[in-house]
Structure formats: structure tokens, C-alpha cells
């Protein structure tokens, strides 16, 4: 498999390589934010319920923005939507790092959320339309894994940067809150740098169907209805994953600090190792698709993550919870390229950005809805009830996914997994 990956990477066009470079920078900056932003807010006086509502608002903005951004991506170019997303995320993250006042940080979160919505609808169609069929299982698996590899590095950076800023003399004596703020500025800077390769992306490419021929400009109403019916099924399973993830995933850094007593450095290390496990899983997705089929691969990996959540809700030992966190995330997220492959490979090109937007909207709306309540639950009753709800949502999504797609995609192996959005 290693030699196959290398051979496929050598065939990637300059446009694909620029997109992968931009995605790496986004993964690096976004990873720093995912580890430190909650800790920054908590050090600024925010409680868990307020943090949950703020993160929910960001996801709600992403969900609402994904629909008009899907239209922009389909009507203009994927590049336009992608650059809008990069600009909005880097601006929103920078503004969020400058204050803990409620109104400005709400505005910054909305801006960043809109940027996330734009990027989610642009990456998958761009990769699909700038690649050949044989490249796609490796290209999109590599895209998924490269971003996660950058998240590994960002996890170590997030654990190291606050201490570096406190110890360095060039910024003078600072407290923990200020060191977290400077670290977040560095994260926003990495995303801003992604505009350099992102600005050189090609505007358009030939849009092809699965067999490699140019797609006709129009289709029948029946074909469109069939496509959107399939999207509806994806939306339901994605919404269940989003609802479960929103109950606990945004709070995992606080979980380790409050539930196990971990330090910031330990939290950064655990997050880095968790992303490493997920990256290995993402690289393995083409092998898994060939052995188990797309749908069975998704169901198998999601089911394997469930026992680890039970242990995390039961035990408080840092090392045990850390191991469970790593394996839970690896199994749950390694299904993401397979999920996206089944969607992109069956949707006509003229609908792909909007289909991706609809799927992302379902996930983000469910994520936002659960975050509106999960912070209060954690504050009143702790993390165990939220982990239990997550368990139930993931189990239900796996059952429905198998029921919907096991026969249709059991032996499928080609298609277009998309952006590296982790599902949990």
C-alpha cells in the first residue's frame, strides 16, 4: 500500500497539491484552536453552559452559511467558496483571540462559523473534479489524513506554546490567560497563511461522472429526486452523529482537566496522539473499503468506538481515559472518508456542493442543538450523562446507516471521499 500511495501522489496535479498544502495549514491552525479555545474561554470567566452556547452558535452559523455557499460553489467556482472560507475563519479566530467580552466574541464565532460552512461545501467537489477515478480513494484518504497529521503537530504545539510564551522574556511576565491568547493568535496565523496556496487554486475543472466521461448538463426530474432522497438518508445519519458529538466532543479538553485532573501539556499530548490514531485510520480507509465494503466499514468502525465511551464515563484515571479517547476517536473518525465517498460518488456534479452543504447542515444543526443543552448538563451532572447520550446517538446512526446503504455500497470501491471534517 505504501508504494501505491507514493505512486498516486506523484500523479496529483498542481491544483491538488496546492489544495492539500492549504488544508495542512488549516489543520495546523484549527487544531491549536480546538485544544485551547475552551481553556481560553474558561480562564476568561466563561462557564461550561456559556461555552456550549457559544460553540453551538458557531456551528449554527456554519450550517446556515453552507446553503448559500453551496450555491456560490456551484454557480461560480469551488475556489471562490474556499477562499471565502479561509478568509472568514482566519479573521474570526483572530478576533476571538482578542477579547472575552460577550458581544465581540459572539460576532467572531459567527464569522468563523460562516467560514467553516464555506469550506465544507468547497473541498469535496474540488477534489472530485480535479482528480481521476483511480486517484480518488487515495487522494481523499490522504487529504483526510494530512489534516489530521497537522492536528497531531498542533496538539503538541498547543500543549507547548502557552508554556513557551510564559517562559520567554520578549513578551514580559504574563499569566495563563494571556499565554493562551497568544497561542490562539498563532493558530489564526497558520490559517491565514493557507491563503497563499489557496489563492493559486484553479477556478474550474471538467466535471465527470463515475465512469470518467463528461456529465450531461441536465438530468431528469426523477434522477434529481432520487439523488436528493439519497442525500436525505445521509442527512439523517449525519444528524445523529452530530447530535451525539455535540454532547461531549467540544468539551474533551475540559473533560481531561476536570474529570482526570490533567495539565494543559498532558491535554495537548493526548489530543495529538488522538489525531495520530485517527490519521492512521484515515490512511487505512481504502484497505477497509476493499475488505469490508463502504457501508460495512462505516458501521464496523463506529461500533468499535462505542465500548471506549462506556469506560470513559466510568473511570477517572488519566492514562486509561487517554487510551480510550485515542481509540474512540480513531475508530469513529476513520469512517469519515468512507461516508463522504458514498455521497460524492453518486451525486451528479451540478448538485455536489449543495448535497455536501445539506449533509454538513444536518450535522452542524444537530451539533449546535445538542451543544445548547450539553454545557448545562455537564455543569449540573458531570460528563457521564453526555457520554451516554453520545453512545445512543452513534449506535442509532450505525444501525440506520447499515439499513440504508449496506446493499447498495457493499462492494463499491471508487468515489470521492471529501474534506477532513472529523465526525466526532
The C-alpha cell of 13 is what?
496535479
Instruction: Give the CATH number, domain containing residue 270.
Output: 1.20.1250.20
CA distance 120 to 139: 17
Number of folded domains that form the chain: 1
Residue 306 lies in a domain: yes
Residue 169 has pLDDT above 70, yes or no: no
Q: How far is CA 88 from CA 24, 107, 108, 114, 263, in A?
A: 17, 12, 9, 7, 31
Label residue 412 by pLDDT band (50, 70, 90): very low
What was the pLDDT predicted at 209? 44
414: left (phi over 0), alpha (psi -120 to 50) or beta: beta
CA distance 39 to 159: 12
pLDDT tens sequence across 88-116: 999 999 999 998 888 999 999 999 999 99
Residue 208 lies in a domain: no
Q: How far is CA 94 from CA 32, 47, 188, 199, 351, in A?
A: 12, 22, 5, 20, 33
Task: Tell me which residue of 83, 412, 361 sits closest to 353, measured CA to CA.
Answer: 361
pLDDT tens sequence across 185-213: 999 999 999 999 998 887 665 444 444 44
Burial letters 123-149, b for 16+ CB under 10 A, else e: bbbbbbbbbebebbbbbbbbbbbbbbb
3-state SS, residue 261: coil
pLDDT tens sequence across 377-394: 998 898 999 999 999 999
Mean pLDDT in residue range 256-281: 84
Residue 127 lies in a domain: yes
Residue 6 lies in a domain: no
Tell me how far apart the 2 most distant CA atoms of the chain are, in Å: 67
Helix and strand numbers (H, E) in the chain are: 17, 0
DSSP characters over 16-70: HHHHHHHHHHHHHHHHHHHHHHHHHHHHTT--HHHHHHHHHHHHHHHHHHHHHHH
Mean pLDDT of the chain: 82
Supply the range of the domain harboring residue 166: 13-200+221-405
Residue 417 lies in a domain: no
Determine the length of the chain: 424
Residue 311 has pLDDT above 90, yes or no: yes
Task: Tell me which residue of 282, 20, 22, 248 sits closest to 148, measured CA to CA.
Answer: 282
Task: Tell me which residue of 35, 63, 72 sits closest to 161, measured CA to CA.
Answer: 35
Residue 110 lies in a domain: yes
pLDDT tens sequence across 294-309: 778 888 888 999 999 9
What was the pLDDT predicted at 208? 46
What was the pLDDT predicted at 423? 54
Residue 136 has pLDDT above 60, yes or no: yes
Mean pLDDT in residue range 346-354: 70
Label residue 4 by pLDDT band (50, 70, 90): low
Mean pLDDT in residue range 225-237: 84
Q: Is the dihedral of CA 74, 77, 79, 83 positive or negative?
A: negative
What was the pLDDT predicted at 250? 85
Poorest-pLDDT segment among 13-27, 202-216, 280-294? 202-216
Label residue 5 by pLDDT band (50, 70, 90): low
- The residues, ordered by sequence, that sit 6+ positions from 170 with a Cβ below 8 Å of its Cβ are none
Q: Is the dihedral of CA 109, 115, 116, 121 positive or negative?
A: positive
Pairwise pLDDT comparison (339 vs 415), residue with the higher score? 339
Residue 256 lies in a domain: yes
Residue 367 has pLDDT above 80, yes or no: yes
Residue 220 has pLDDT above 70, yes or no: no
Residue 36 lies in a domain: yes
Cβ–Cβ < 8 Å for 3, 151: no
pLDDT tens sequence across 30-77: 989 988 998 899 888 888 788 888 888 888 898 888 888 888 887 888
pTM over 0.75: no
Label residue 218 by pLDDT band (50, 70, 90): very low
Cβ–Cβ < 8 Å for 325, 252: yes
What was the pLDDT predicted at 301? 87
What was the pLDDT predicted at 172? 66
Amino acid at each position: 500500500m505504501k508504494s501505491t500511495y507514493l505512486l498516486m501522489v506523484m500523479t496529483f496535479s498542481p491544483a491538488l497539491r496546492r489544495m492539500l498544502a492549504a488544508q495542512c495549514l488549516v489543520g495546523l491552525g484549527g487544531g491549536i484552536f480546538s485544544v485551547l479555545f475552551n481553556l481560553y474561554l474558561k480562564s476568561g470567566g466563561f462557564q461550561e453552559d456559556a461555552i456550549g452556547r457559544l460553540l453551538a452558535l458557531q456551528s449554527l452559523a456554519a450550517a446556515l452559511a453552507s446553503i448559500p455557499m453551496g450555491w456560490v460553489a456551484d454557480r461560480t467556482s469551488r475556489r471562490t467558496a474556499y477562499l471565502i472560507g479561509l478568509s472568514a475563519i482566519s479573521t474570526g479566530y483572530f478576533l476571538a483571540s482578542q477579547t472575552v467580552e460577550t458581544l465581540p466574541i459572539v460576532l467572531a464565532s459567527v464569522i468563523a462559523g460562516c467560514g467553516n460552512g464555506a469550506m465544507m461545501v468547497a473541498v469535496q467537489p474540488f477534489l472530485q473534479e480535479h482528480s481521476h477515478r483511480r486517484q480518488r480513494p487515495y487522494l481523499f484518504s490522504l487529504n483526510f489524513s494530512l489534516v489530521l497529521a497537522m492536528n497531531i503537530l498542533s496538539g503538541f504545539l498547543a500543549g507547548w506554546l502557552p508554556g513557551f510564551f510564559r517562559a520567554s522574556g520578549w513578551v514580559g511576565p504574563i499569566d495563563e490567560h494571556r499565554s493562551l491568547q497568544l497561542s490562539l493568535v498563532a493558530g489564526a496565523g497558520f490559517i491565514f497563511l493557507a491563503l497563499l496556496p489557496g489563492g493559486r487554486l484553479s477556478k474550474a475543472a471538467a466535471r465527470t461522472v463515475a465512469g470518467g466521461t463528461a456529465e450531461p448538463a441536465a438530468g431528469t426530474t426523477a434522477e434529481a429526486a432520487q439523488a436528493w432522497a439519497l442525500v436525505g438518508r445521509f442527512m439523517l445519519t449525519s444528524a445523529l452523529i452530530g447530535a451525539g458529538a455535540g454532547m461531549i466532543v467540544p468539551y474533551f479538553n475540559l473533560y481531561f482537566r476536570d474529570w482526570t485532573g490533567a495539565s494543559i501539556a498532558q491535554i495537548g499530548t493526548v489530543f495529538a496522539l488522538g489525531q495520530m490514531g485517527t490519521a492512521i485510520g484515515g490512511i487505512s480507509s481504502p484497505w477497509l473499503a476493499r475488505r469490508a465494503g463502504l457501508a460495512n466499514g462505516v458501521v464496523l468502525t463506529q461500533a468499535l468506538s462505542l465500548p471506549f465511551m462506556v469506560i470513559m464515563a466510568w473511570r477517572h484515571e488519566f492514562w486509561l481515559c487517554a487510551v480510550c479517547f485515542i481509540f474512540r476517536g480513531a475508530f469513529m473518525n476513520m469512517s469519515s472518508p468512507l461516508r463522504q465517498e458514498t455521497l460524492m460518488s453518486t451525486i451528479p456534479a451540478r448538485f455536489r456542493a449543495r448535497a455536501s452543504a445539506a449533509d454538513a447542515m444536518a450535522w452542524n444543526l444537530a451539533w449546535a442543538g445538542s451543544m445548547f443543552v450539553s454545557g448545562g448538563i455537564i455543569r449540573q451532572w458531570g460528563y457521564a450523562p453526555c457520554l451516554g447520550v453520545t453512545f445512543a446517538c452513534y449506535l442509532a446512526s450505525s444501525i440506520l446507516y447499515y439499513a440504508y446503504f449496506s446493499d447498495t455500497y457493499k462492494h463499491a470501491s471508487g468515489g470521492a471521499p471529501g474534506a477532513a471534517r472529523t465526525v466526532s
